[in-house]
C-alpha cells in the first residue's frame, strides 16, 4: 500500500480551503445578503492576503455551492444560498444505486408530508382569502391537466403555496429541493404517478375545503390520504426491484 502523500498537492488543498473559509467569513462579517456585490478579484485577493490562483479556486468551490455567483462582465455577487448542491447530491445518489435508494425517495416523501401534517394548524390559520382562492384555482387546473408533466407542475405549485403563509425560508427551500429530487428520480425508479387523477384532485380539494373551515384535523386527514398512494407506489417499486424475477 502506498502511503506517500504529495506535499505540494496537500498544501494547495489546505490553502484553498482556508481561502474558501475566509471568503465566507468576509460575507458574514460584512453582513452581505444574497445578490449583494463582492469586491473585485484584486481587492478581495489583497483583503484576504491570498494569491489570485487560490482565490479563483475558492470562488469555483463557493460558486458550486451557490454561495458566490460569478456574472461574467459584471463581477461577483453573494449567491442565492439555495439548496442546489443538496438536490444534485440526492438526485445522483438515487440514480446511482436505485436498489438502495428507494429509502431515500421515501424519506423525501415523509419529510414533505411532515411539513404539511405537522404544521397544519399554522398553515390553515395563516392562509388568507386570496391564497385559498388560488389554491382552488390550482385544484381546478389540476383536474384539467392532460399530461403528466403539467400535473406535476400544478401539484408542485399547489404545495408551494401551502407553505407560503409560514414565511419560513428554510422550509420553502427544503420543500422545493425535495420536489426537484422527487420529480427527477421517481420516474427513473419506476415510481410514476399512476393513481387515478380523480383521487389526486379529490385529496387536494379536501385540503382546501378543510383550510377554508379552519379544520386542522380534516386538513391533516386529507394530507395523509394524499400521500398514502405515493407511499404505496414506492413500496411496490421497491418490491419489483428487489424481489427475484419469477421464471
Instruction: Give the tens place of pLDDT for each residue, 187-232.
Output: 665 555 545 678 889 999 999 999 999 999 999 999 999 988 878 8
Per-residue H/E/C for 79-115: CCCCCHHHHHHHHHHHHHCHHHHHHHHHHHHHHHHHH
- For the cut 60, the answer to whether the pLDDT of residue 9 exceeds it is no
**pLDDT value for 102:** 73
The confidence score (pLDDT) of residue 86 equals: 61
Residue 61: CB partners within 8 Å, gap ≥ 6? 16, 20
- State in Å, rounded, how far the first CA of the chain is from the last one: 46
Q: Of 176, 164, 179, which Cα lies nearest the Cα of 123?
A: 164
Say what the pLDDT of residue 247 is.
45
Please state the length of the chain: 247
Task: Give the residue, 216 or 112, on which the prediction is more confident.
Answer: 216
Instruction: Collect all residues with Cβ–Cβ distance below 8 Å to 186 and sequence separation of at least 6.
Output: 105, 192
Residue 165: DSSP 8-state: G
Number of Cα atoms under 13 Å in the Cβ half of residue 231: 12
State the average pLDDT over residues 64-81: 83
pLDDT digits (tens, 9 = 90+) for 146-183: 777 788 889 889 999 999 999 887 788 777 777 777 77
392532460: which residue's cell? 146
Domains and CATH numbers, the chain: 7-78 (1.10.10.10), 84-242 (1.20.120.530)
Amino acid at each position: 500500500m502506498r502511503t506517500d502523500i504529495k506535499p505540494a498537492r496537500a498544501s494547495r488543498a489546505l490553502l484553498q480551503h482556508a481561502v474558501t473559509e475566509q471568503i465566507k467569513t468576509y460575507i458574514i462579517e460584512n453582513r452581505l445578503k444574497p445578490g449583494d456585490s463582492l469586491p473585485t478579484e484584486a481587492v478581495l485577493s489583497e483583503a484576504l492576503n491570498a494569491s489570485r490562483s487560490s482565490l479563483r479556486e475558492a470562488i469555483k468551490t463557493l460558486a458550486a455551492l451557490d454561495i458566490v455567483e460569478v456574472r461574467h462582465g459584471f463581477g461577483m455577487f453573494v449567491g442565492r444560498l439555495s439548496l442546489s448542491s443538496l438536490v444534485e447530491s440526492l438526485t445522483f445518489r438515487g440514480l446511482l444505486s436505485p436498489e438502495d435508494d428507494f429509502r431515500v425517495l421515501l424519506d423525501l416523501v415523509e419529510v414533505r408530508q411532515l411539513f404539511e401534517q405537522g404544521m397544519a394548524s399554522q398553515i390553515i390559520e395563516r392562509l388568507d382569502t386570496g391564497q385559498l382562492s388560488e389554491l382552488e384555482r390550482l385544484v381546478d387546473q389540476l383536474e384539467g391537466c392532460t399530461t403528466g408533466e403539467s400535473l406535476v407542475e400544478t401539484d408542485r405549485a399547489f404545495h408551494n403555496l401551502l407553505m407560503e403563509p409560514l414565511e419560513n425560508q428554510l422550509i420553502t427551500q427544503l420543500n422545493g429541493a425535495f420536489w426537484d429530487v422527487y420529480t427527477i428520480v421517481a420516474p427513473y425508479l419506476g415510481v410514476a404517478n399512476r393513481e387515478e387523477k380523480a383521487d389526486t384532485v379529490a385529496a387536494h380539494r379536501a385540503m382546501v375545503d378543510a383550510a377554508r373551515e379552519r379544520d386542522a384535523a380534516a386538513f391533516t386527514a386529507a394530507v395523509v390520504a394524499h400521500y398514502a398512494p405515493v407511499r404505496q407506489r414506492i413500496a411496490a417499486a421497491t418490491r419489483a426491484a428487489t424481489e427475484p424475477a419469477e421464471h
